[in-house]
Chains A and B, each alone.
Chain A
Amino acid sequence: MAQDAIAVEGLVYSYGDLVAVDHISFKVAEGEILGFLGPNGVGKTTTVKMLTGQLKPKGGKAHLLGMDVARDAGKVRGEIGVCFEQTNLYEQMTALENLDLFARLFGISGFDANALLKRVGLAGREKDRVEGYSKGMKQRLMVARSLVNRPRILFLDEPTAGLDPTSAEAIRSIILEERARGATVFLTTHDMMEADKLSDRVAFMNKGKIVALDTPHNLKQQYGKRALKAKVQTQAGELRDREVVLDTPETPELVHKLFAGERVVTIHSEEATLEDIFIKITGRGLEG
């Protein structure tokens, strides 16, 4: 049985009277991608900060790779990679210098920065100062920096936010490659499509608590409805929408009636999105 890469039990953090993280517990297996979802201000970043040793929990315990984050902070930090939401690179240094610096901080000898830069699509620009990079290039360099020590756990905070489709796709490919290498990925994102596509499981966070944690498929099964969406043409030539809810006892008969009684122009299946499910569970949207 695979060891838990992340094991969190009753984790608490508060800023004064405001409880940001309220007794959350969860586990992430090695090699798993966990999508951590929720609107701004629900405690996602505070959770990541506690797991990466930037904040000391006010209560509860967090273990990464079997090590207590509070007690073995130094050892834990040697095994993780963190990609922040906001760019925090040394902009007056080149990409090569940025990566070499972090390799030295991790105590890695013989580090090949060029290979890593090539992997994130920055070959040819490695000797340019970062201040001249586009947002997408900076974000790719941020991801590269988080991979310098070949981390066993990778924390990615909104890694594709605001990026062009090419850069976003490049980063998604790297996430999947890292998972294939055996790394555990803790992915914080607003992008439901991305979470759905990449995550083995997703956790919904609301008001400091985890309100749902399961695979996207199971969540959709549990909370969403699948349906057939059709466009039909009336005798007067007008187009009308029709919907048949799937997975009910009446579904076969309704589908039969649709094709027998109407002139179907287009038809496709539709299932609930993670955002629909989040709204259903919490009563609020993800952009709040």
Chain B
Amino acid sequence: MNLRAIRALVAKDFTLFFRNRFFALITLLGLVVYVALYFVMPGSVDGTLDIGLYAPAWSPAPDDIQQKGLDIHVAESEDDLKDGVVAHDYVAGVVLPGDLVEKLASGQNPQIDLYFASDTPEETKEAVASLMRELIYVQTGQPLAVDFSTQVLPGPDMAGQQIPPRDRLRPLFAVLLIVFETYGLATLVTEEIEHRTIQALLVTPVTVKDLFAAKGITGITLAFGQGALFMALVGGLNQQPVIVILALLLAALLVTGIGFLIASLAKDMMSVLAWGVLALVILVIPSMGTMFPGVITEWVKVIPSYYVVDTVDRVASYGSGWPDIWQNLLILLAFDMAFLLIGMVALRRRFQ
């Protein structure tokens, strides 16, 4: 390896990268926008359920029925209650009829009206209905006819560890910043081939190995630098920084391998764009799992970026340590090696 030549090539690549207005702008803007978005998003979880209550003939003192996580607001009239629901002051409006107690005592089913805004999700409607049933049993003194038995199944129990929305977005932003560099690196390599500057380099003492080393360093530095800087700015390195940094470094290696592969497949700059967008979309999918838990199933584990997202999320958000994520890092390393090898073999053919 010719270290002096590699250093010169890396410096040249950075010069060209930042002289490309598109990449310079996207790199800077991406970082600024993602950091700004992070801080704009709520930093805490509001787990309180606001319920409006109108009970004309029966006025329970709100303090009596306040429970942990439940905030009851007593309305003056049914119209006030409806207005409050429409204005999203409450998640639901509850109207308790005047003959509620009498009907319960005589064994009849009283009618309770529940009001919801048009955009209230079904599960919220069901949850509020169940809540009201329990509340009325508690308020009327009539015990439930059955007992509930609660069991917790084995597995990671994240109950009570609600993650603020902005922290849920953290892995997505970090992965977006890193993954975008597949496109940046593939563009740098494809430009060398398309403009035939690669020929000029290969008639100097520079070898193909030197070229790969230089492009690899450029790709890893660009991807890792942005990811690490973002995580540092948004507090993602506060817990287990070594693991997070290692995960980001492995992610940067991954995008370098994919960048090589794209450059070997692309015929021109347009096809770099097409392949780049495809890679971006696929690699971002696992991030959805942290934003919307439950929507992602097991198949997502075939996407290598899953192991970055899962590691970063579990470490930065839940404080997981080496025993929890070492397998992730190992699998990620295997993906890195595979993509780098395939990418370099394919690209070498194009160089020649």
Q: Chain A interface (Cβ within 8 Å of chain B)?
A: 52-54, 74, 77-78, 80, 82, 84, 86, 88-93, 97, 101-102, 104-107, 145, 149
Report whether B5 and A105 are in contact in the complex, using a CB–CB cutoff of 8 Å. yes
Instruction: For residue A263, give the distance in angstroms from its CB to the closest CB of chain B.
Output: 60
Q: Pick from B11-19, B116-124, B156-164, B273-281 the stretch touching chain A.
A: B11-19
Report whether A88 and B15 are in contact in the complex, using a CB–CB cutoff of 8 Å. no
What 4 A-B pairs have minimum CB-CB distances, sorted nearest first?
A104-B8, A88-B196, A82-B203, A105-B204
Report the bound CA distance from A244 to B200 in whole Å.
51
Inside 8 A of A102's CB, which chain B residues have their CB? 200, 204
Report the bound CA distance from A78 to B195 in whole Å.
23
Report whether A84 and B5 are in contact in the complex, using a CB–CB cutoff of 8 Å. no
23 residue pairs bridging A and B, Cβ less than 8 Å apart: A52-B203, A53-B202, A54-B202, A78-B205, A80-B203, A86-B196, A88-B197, A88-B199, A88-B200, A89-B197, A89-B200, A90-B16, A90-B197, A93-B12, A97-B15, A101-B12, A104-B5, A105-B8, A105-B201, A105-B204, A105-B205, A105-B206, A106-B204
Inside 8 A of B199's CB, which chain A residues have their CB? 54, 84, 88
Report whether A77 and B4 are in contact in the complex, using a CB–CB cutoff of 8 Å. no
Whether B20 sits at the interface, judged by CB under 8 Å, is: yes
**Given that A88-B195, A145-B200 are known contacts, is A107 also in contact with B12, CB under 8 Å in the complex?**
no
Q: Chain B interface (Cβ within 8 Å of chain A)?
A: 2, 4-5, 7-9, 12, 15-16, 19-20, 195-197, 199-207
**Given that A101-B8, A104-B4, A105-B206 are known contacts, is A92 also in contact with B19, CB under 8 Å in the complex?**
yes
Instruction: For residue B348, give the distance in angstroms from its CB to the closest CB of chain A.
Output: 13
**Given that A82-B203, A90-B16, A93-B15 are known contacts, is A107 also in contact with B197, CB under 8 Å in the complex?**
no
Report whether B200 and A82 are in contact in the complex, using a CB–CB cutoff of 8 Å. yes
Inside 8 A of B16's CB, which chain A residues have their CB? 90, 92-93
Inside 8 A of B4's CB, which chain A residues have their CB? 104, 107
Report the bound CA distance from A77 to B20 in whole Å.
31
Instruction: For residue A32, give the distance in angstroms from its CB to the closest CB of chain B.
Output: 21
Inside 8 A of A93's CB, which chain B residues have their CB? 12, 15-16, 19
Report whether A77 and B196 are in contact in the complex, using a CB–CB cutoff of 8 Å. no
Beyond the given pairs A105-B201, A105-B204, 13 more chain A to chain B contacts, judged by CB atoms under 8 angstroms and listed by A's residue number, are A53-B202, A78-B205, A80-B203, A82-B203, A84-B200, A86-B196, A88-B199, A89-B200, A92-B15, A92-B16, A101-B8, A106-B205, A145-B200
Inside 8 A of B2's CB, which chain A residues have their CB? 107
Determine the residue in chain B with the shortest Cβ distance to A89.
B197
Inside 8 A of B206's CB, which chain A residues have their CB? 105
